[in-house]
Amino acid sequence: MKWSIIRALGTLTVLLLTMGACPASEQSSQNQLIAAAENAQGAPRVDALNALSKSYWGVSASEAREHAELAQVLARSIEYAAGEAAAWRNIGIAHWYEADYEAALAASLKAREIYQRIGDDRGEAGTISTIATILMNTERIDQAIALYREAIPIAERAGDRNRLGIIYSNLGTAHLGLEQPQAALDYLEQALPVLRSDGSDRDVLTCLANIGGAYRRLGQFDRSLAVNREVLELAQKIGNHERIAEAMADLGQASMGLGEMAQARNWFQRALDYSVEHELKRTEMTTLESMATLLERLGDPAGALNAYKRHSALRAEAINAESAKAMADLQVRYETVQKEREIQIQRLQIERQQAQQLTLALLLVAALIGTAVILRLYQQKRRAVIELDLLSRTDPLTGVANRRAVRALTTQLDQAQRDVGHGVILFDIDHFKRINDRYGHDSGDHVLKGVATTLSAAVRSSDMVGRWGGEEFVIVAPNTDELALSGLAERCHRAVSAQDFVVNGKALRVTATAGWTRCGAEESFDSALKRADHALYKGKNAGRNRLVAA
């Protein structure tokens, strides 16, 4: 189960970075910068190297870092403080692209120290934004918000309106990630007029999309609808495919909030078609989940189930792709280290005598072998620790979370501050003892596994399914309002009731009774669980195969 504080961290506009390959015009400009960096001397060469580093943002992090490091060394040697500060900031941004956030933070802090020393407000404000963005990526949201606020008077003093707009927009995004939509809206509405006059269309687009999201979270669906229409129009104007698909999906969410179900279905379908056409897997996956919820409300369980199946398939595909990318990145890093070591050995062979070369080569080989052995042992131990931890949190029969894992999550939820409570659903398989007695314990185990699989497929990615004991299962749904929890409980109960089992060559229909309730913002999990348990037994006493709200 993945946890994420920020809903769309990739949409932040703090750094104004361009992703992807350079267009032809930008490539021509890059060639000019290369020529300038080669031919210039002193401070102009530092400036050219820094500009060349920026041109590689989103294209090649290693190239961006290499040119910035050259600029930093040269600027320091000629005591050009402004150029050195810019170089340190560019080094930090290059590390940010490489997801090396601690190195990015260290370099950016050096840049800020120099900008403060020379009194460059514009440079300091931009660097503070960079530092705050790095903190956002490491989920230190409160520290990031404090830094953004600190940057506001500095940017105002520098007269940097574009930076002000970006800071306000990022503050709004941060508060959205903390589920504080009103605070987010206040900042975003301050950012929008500034970005309209001084920012790019992409900055305006991001700000508008977040405003639409804030209105939706506040339940102001009519305003969300109007803003997302503007988002769609602007995204189509600049040809931003991802934003076009997201705007269509957000229009569907707003329409559903207004009760305009036919219009919502139309928007969701348009978003799905557009996502498939342009291979926008993430948007397609989130829209399928929204479509499934809508179809359930429209009384189309078959359509909802089909949407959930597509969603599950895309989710599995995304997980596999992430794993493959991680392995490829590790391979590249390993090869880079190997090449650097080979170069070091070659230099030593040129500089030292033959006897020293032999000694050093033997020492290096021994070190590599020792490192490889230690690394191998560490990996084996690490893998064993991970497997033991997983086993300690997983029910060995059904593969879902065990009671300990559920307790760990609910303790975390009880201790966390929250504006929205979480849901608790308790399931109990009807007549389970009769199944064991009549068909045997192997058949009973088969039923338990099947129910666990069905519940896991029916819940959302943020929910946890756990075996509470015997034939009882519990579902914990964090940050879930009553309407969403009701739909989740109905979906899970319907899925279990619709499942057919084959036992000893014969069809066996299994039902379950469930009790559900919301755990309020100030309430403990144990208190909510007791209410859900009471509701469950009310359903048992009413004839079983019931879903009862507490």
User: Which residues are catalytically annotated?
Assistant: 471
8 Å CB contact between 42 and 214: no
Can you tell me the distance from the alpha carbon of 191 to that of 52, in angstroms, rounded to the nearest whole number? 30
Can you tell me the distance from the alpha carbon of 108 to that of 147, in angstroms, rounded to the nearest whole number? 13
Among the listed residues 311, 245, 322, the one whose alpha carbon sits nearest the alpha carbon of residue 278: 245
- Convert 194-207 to b/e letters by CB count within 10 Å (16 or more is b): bbeeebeebbbbbb
Residue 340 has φ and ψ, to the nearest 5°, of -65, -40
Q: Which two tokens stand for residue 447?
A: 């039923």
Pairing mode, strands 512-519 and 547-549 = parallel
Spell out the residues 6+ positions from residue 364 whose beta carbon is closer than 8 angstroms to its own: 341, 345
Helix (H, G, I), strand (E, B) or coil at 516: strand
Can you tell me the distance from the alpha carbon of 356 to that of 359, in angstroms, rounded to the nearest whole number? 5
First to last CA, the chain: 27
335 class by beta-carbon count within 10 Å (0-12 exposed, 13-18 middle, 19+ buried): exposed
8 Å CB contact between 181 and 210: no
What is the 3-state secondary structure of 422-439? EEEEEEEECCHHHHHHHH
